[in-house]
Amino acid sequence: MDYQNRAGSKKGGGGVAGWSETNADRRERLRKLALETIDLEKDPYFFKNHLGSFECKLCLTVHLNDGSYLAHTQGRKHQTNLARRAAKEEREGRANGAGRGLGASSVEVRKNLIKVGRPGYRITKIRDATSRQLGLRFQLQYPEIGSEILPRHRFMSAFEQRIEPAMENKQFQYLLVAAEPYETISFKIPSKEIDRRPGKFWTYYDQDSNEYFIQLLFKEEKEARYSGVPGLQ
């Protein structure tokens, strides 16, 4: 870091570093030290998604780089969740140990799963018969999914993703669906407010056919505009 041109510095010498520069240098040194001592590949909660970001599967947070993830693991939220998970596993271990005997293992070790590709899917445009709202129904097939794994979904705005220019695609949002051992799949849908009232938005996973259903309806422009006004339904 060049401190030569700072106020109070002598020619050929380093000036007094400010708080922001010192803090940034400290964070960088701590990040390099952590990367040398911590193997992220062995972290069971570390996950790199298809967008190149890093996710904490324990706290359900998203981080832009490995340094941000490492800083998160040292924070109070992650440490609290680790303590809760350890306490839960201890309680379950005691219960399982009482049922199986002292010689059985109480904690199941989760192995890293090999991705098997993208799931099959079908998208259907729908319209509500009563309200005439437009919507979409997604049907995804997971024939190789594990018996204890349930698909998960989340919505992502155009400004959160890093694949396409956000300003050019701000009229769209993204629906992400994840289920190990399959790759996370994303659908590009209109950036309209989704009607989350009962019966309007629902998900269902059929364990017999290993199919995951998501149905959503978009609010009409008038409903979306006045949805936050008290007293209006």
pLDDT at 136: 95
DSSP 33: H
Backbone angles phi, psi at 41, to 5 degrees: -65, -20
Per the model's pLDDT, the better-predicted residue between 149 and 5 turns out to be 149
Q: Give the separation between CA 120 and CA 71, rounded to whole angstroms.
A: 37
For the segment 83-118, what is each residue's pLDDT rounded down to a tens digit? Answer: 888 888 888 877 666 555 544 444 444 555 567 789
- Residues 190, 194, 199, 201, Cα dihedral to 10°: 70
- Separation of CA 223 from chain center: 29
Burial class (CB in 10 A: 0-12, 13-18, 19+), 115: exposed
pLDDT of 232 over the 70 cut: no
